[in-house]
Amino acid sequence: MLCPTDPYNRQSLFAGRHANEGAPDGNWARGNYGANGALGFLTVVGTNPAGGPDTVYWKDPKTRGVMGMNVALKIGQITDGTSQTILIGELRAGISENDPRGTWALGAAGANSLWAHGTDNDNGPNSCTSGGDGIFGCGRIMGSAGGEEGLLRECMPCDEVAGQGTVRSMHTGGAYVGFVDGSVHFIGDFIDKGPYDASDLKFVVYHTWQRLCASGDQEVIDRSEF
């Protein structure tokens, strides 16, 4: 699915991870929506792993979303309720051919799924904090998009700590998300998300954004909060 406000989804096809090595794997199509993975990272090792069904932060309903790596929840497992849990959120297409974000067929954070999207330097919709999305090949992205400064001007920061990607759009002031119950909501950039320390997800203080992302944090959110 393409969002008409994002011109990059049509003009900047992804060249592939090995394009600079001469591999013929380019012209990956773009999309603008990704699955709500988890508040942990798309990895099975390292800091806050939540990628697969046996990772600690996917198994924890207070940190997992709805669709993970080769695993997904049934409706009955979404204990917060379908009207309280994000299913999919907007993604921006990469701003150069080296930027994999918004590549719907690529199983990666920021490409077709959302991971650690309420955490440290990628906290909440359209986070513009330096570092931001953890993308494989961030150095190549910077080299093709005016460096770190160029990415910050586009509100598309990245770093090499792969496995992180948040909700992003080119709408003014926020982005659209779809809830499990089929409803669609515009979430403002300034939704309550608080400072969120990713050093250990067991001890974090949840705010409205994190509660919408987690499928089993067991806290009810008033619609006026978002």
* Contact in structure between 78 and 85 (CB atoms under 8 Å): yes
Looking at residue 133, what is its pLDDT?
96
Q: What is the pLDDT of residues 9-26, one digit of tens each?
A: 887 788 776 555 555 567
Rounded Cα gap, residues 170 and 174, in angstroms: 8
121 CA to centre of own chain: 12
Q: What is the pLDDT of residues 109-143, one digit of tens each?
A: 999 999 999 888 899 999 999 999 999 889 999 99
Q: So where are the chain's domains?
A: 33-225
Rounded Cα gap, residues 156 and 150, in angstroms: 9
Closest CA to 145 of 94, 190, 193: 94
Per-residue pLDDT of the chain (226 residues; tens, 9 = 90+): 888 899 988 877 887 765 555 555 678 899 999 999 999 999 999 888 999 999 999 999 999 999 999 999 999 999 999 999 999 999 999 999 999 999 999 999 999 999 999 888 899 999 999 999 999 889 999 998 999 999 999 999 999 988 999 999 999 999 999 999 999 999 999 999 976 665 667 666 789 999 999 999 888 888 888 8
Tokens of 84: 């309280």
* Contact in structure between 138 and 95 (CB atoms under 8 Å): no
The DSSP bridge partners found for residue 113 are 35, 109
